[in-house]
Amino acid sequence: MGGAGYIGVYKHALDKRYGAGEIVCHSGKRIPAIPVGSAEELYARIRSRGERVVLVDEGQFFLDTDSDGSFAFVRVISHLLGRGLWVVVAGLDKDFRGLPFGPMADLLALADERISLFARCAVCGAPATFTQRLVDGKPARADDPLLLVGAKEVYEPRCRRCHRVEGSLRSAKSLVFGLRKPEEPEPSSAEEGAPSF
């Protein structure tokens, strides 16, 4: 096997750091990729091309939701797996706040295999499991926009001990988990029975 259309390589269209049509790792290695802006566009391309192996980079950026509020990307990937496709998704499991990033927690639950890569903390050298967003050299605020595409000028690896976020995670949490749309009022913690952050 391995003819045209057998393997599809995709990335979210938001990632234009090194060019629209490539996945580029920090070491400089490159692979051609098709940019897509939504889970539905990804699915339509895969169906039209008849691919059996699908690689998707920047999975955390697929934040579009279905009418029930669940991530469309999770539905699409689940459907592809159910059709027998081999699917590899790369992405950050936590956002800059240290909370689950978009659909990634649900995708990890679906995965047959998980590979976690770690950098070294830029502060102390310990294994880094967090992404520190910096704004003018200082930790970002919890209520800053979720998406900010950037590289080492904006982000650095941090361990749990050295990771910092300014402000309260309480107001940010429901948007991070996709539990409500931005125009809906935030429920009080008493209404939802959630712990206070």
Residue 49 falls in which region: left (phi positive, over 0), alpha (psi -120 to 50) or beta: alpha
Query: Among residues 164, 193, 12, which one has the least CA distance to residue 102?
Result: 12
Q: Which residues lie closer than 8 Å to 41 by C-beta, 6 or more apart?
A: none
Whether 45 contacts 34, CB under 8 Å: yes
Query: Distance between alpha carbon 134 and the CA centroid of its chain, in Å?
Result: 18
Question: E strand or H helix at 170, and its extent?
Answer: helix 170-176
Residue type for position 191: E
From 41, 51, 58, 191, the catalytic residue: 58
Q: How many CA atoms lie within 13 A of 173 on its CB side?
A: 12
What's the Rg (C-alpha) of the chain?
A: 18
- Alpha-carbon distance 74 to 116, whole Å? 19
Active site residue 41: no
- DSSP-based helix, strand, coil % in the chain, nearest 5: 20, 25, 55
Q: Which residues are designated catalytic?
A: 58
